[in-house]
Amino acid sequence: MEWRLWRQSWRPWLRLFVMAAAVVVITQEGCVCGGDVTYDGRSLIINGERRILFSGSIHYPRSTPEMWGSLIGKAKEGGVDVIQTYVFWNLHEPQPGQYNFSGRYDLVKFIKEIQAQGLYACLRIGPFIESEWTYGGFPFWLHDVPDIVYRSDNEPFKFYMQNFTTKIVNMMKSEGLYASQGGPIILSQIENEYQNIEAAFHEKGPSYVRWAAKMAVELQTGVPWVMCKQTDAPDPVINTCNGMRCGQTFGGPNSPNKPSLWTENWTSFYQVYGGEPYIRSAEDIAFHVALFIARNGSYVNYYMYHGGTNFGRTSSAYVITSYYDQAPLDEYGLLRQPKWGHLKALHAAIKSCSTTLLQGLPTNFSLGQLQEAYVFREETEGRCVAFLINNDERNNATVQFQNASHELMPKSISILPDCEKVIFNTATVNTNDTKRIIRTTEIFDSMDRWQGYTDVIPNYENSSLLSDTLLEHMNVTKDVSDYLWYTLRFQHNISCAEPKLVAESQGHATHAFVNNIYIGNAHGSHDTKQFIMQSPVVLSNEINNISLLGVMVGLPDSGAFLERRFSGLTRVEIQCSENEFYNFTNYAWGYQVGLFGEKLQIHREENIHMVEWSKANTSLNQPLTWYKTFFDAPIGNDPVALNLSSMGKGEGWINGQSIGRYWVSFLTSKGEPSQIMYHVPRSFFKTSENLLVLLEEAGGNPLRISLNTISLSTLPKHIQYYHLLQ
Active site residues: 193, 264
Q: Which residues contact 343 (CB under 8 A, 6 or more apart)?
A: 78, 79, 282, 285, 286, 289, 302, 328
DSSP label of 72:
H
Q: Which residues contact 128 (CB under 8 A, 6 or more apart)?
A: 136, 137, 138, 150, 151, 191, 192, 194
d(CA 687, CA 684): 10
Which neighbouring-strand residues pair with 329?
Answer: 306, 335
- Amino acid (1-letter code) at residue 177: L
Q: How far is CA 94 from CA 138, 142, 144, 411, 478, in A?
A: 9, 10, 13, 48, 11
d(CA 22, CA 3): 30
Among the listed residues 208, 205, 168, the one whose alpha carbon sits nearest the alpha carbon of residue 188: 168
Conformation bin of residue 360: beta by default, left when phi > 0, alpha when psi is -120 to 50:
beta
d(CA 25, CA 218): 14
Cα 710 from chain centre = 23
d(CA 64, CA 71): 10
d(CA 533, CA 569): 11
d(CA 509, CA 521): 7
Among the listed residues 197, 181, 230, the one whose alpha carbon sits nearest the alpha carbon of residue 22: 181
Which neighbouring-strand residues pair with 46?
Answer: 37, 49
Among the listed residues 279, 417, 282, the one whose alpha carbon sits nearest the alpha carbon of residue 343: 282
d(CA 616, CA 221): 57
Cα 662 from chain centre = 17
Rg (CA), the chain: 28
d(CA 259, CA 573): 59
Cα 119 from chain centre = 22
DSSP letters spanning 424-436:
EETT---SPPEEE
d(CA 428, CA 434): 17
DSSP label of 198:
G
Give start and end residues of each alpha helix (H) in 175-245. 204-217
d(CA 110, CA 308): 15
d(CA 408, CA 395): 9
Conformation bin of residue 662: beta by default, left when phi > 0, alpha when psi is -120 to 50:
beta
3-state helix, strand, coil in the chain (%, to 5): 25, 35, 45
- Beta strands 82-86 and 53-58 are parallel
Burial grade of 578 (CB within 10 A; 0-12, 13-18, 19 or more): exposed
- Let me know: does 532 contact 504? Beta carbons within 8 Å: yes
